Amino acid sequence: MTSSRLKVLITGASKGIGLATSKMLADQGHAVVGLARTQPDDFPGVFHAIDLEDEAARDSLFKQLAAEHQFDGLLNNVGLVNPAPLEEITLKDFDACADVNLRCSLQAAQAVVPHMKEQGSGRIVFTSSMVVAGVPFRSSYAAAKAGMVSFTRSWALELAPFGITVNAVAPGPVETELFNTNNPPGSESRTRYIEGVPMKRLGLPEELAAANCYFLSGQSGFTTGQTLFVDGGYMTGKSAL
């Protein structure tokens, strides 16, 4: 899959890790189709503005795009955090986290996998998170991101006979708009995250994009079912799923 121009579908592609990955893939000569609420000015490919929290709308668009394009790769990157202490988690917010992180990923995969099976190759990548190890006030998000790790392992086994790899990249704290919104400068949570990173800094979106591109377009055809922590050493010495 490294010798030809690939076509990759990316959710949550308008900023942060999704946009950085889109640009890196385009720089490598690949075609990118991006989805998110708002189109960035400098998106390096085809972009569809959509609220991915709308189940019916995204299902319709996934099916439309699968019919129009022959996708070689899928990056399930869109995410929703909804931070809250245990006593204040509402079922509505919990369900929204599961929906955007997991159900949306499931629908996207179901749309693109038939073609991947037919051509005998494909790459699926999840943006999971270091929070799978446990982080205060992130119960809903951590549960959803842990679900992505389970999707990764289960789908890898199921799809391996068809030449389709499934992997996850689990970022540590990364300088993105989503991270800054939920962990603003000066906040206790931001300080806690950075203090937990041996490198004592936030990651850059481009550093996560490099890992995504390895799984989506690099020499990774014999690697599947794995979760790669790109976290400045945060998970080193901790028990991971």
Residue where the block lists tokens 């190890």: 133
Residues 97, 140: Cα–Cα separation, whole Å: 6
**If 0-12 CB within 10 Å is exposed, 13-18 middle and 19+ buried, where does residue 109 land?**
buried
Tell me which amino acid residue 112 is.
V
Residue where the block lists tokens 């540590």: 172
Q: How far is CA 128 from each of CA 78, 79, 151, rounded to the nearest angstrom? A: 10, 9, 11
Annotated catalytic residue: which of 141, 193, 214, 234?
141
DSSP symbol at 99: I
Which pairing describes strands 46-49 and 227-230: parallel, antiparallel, or unpaired? unpaired
Our answer to whether residue 234 is catalytic in this structure is: no
Could you list the active site residues? 141
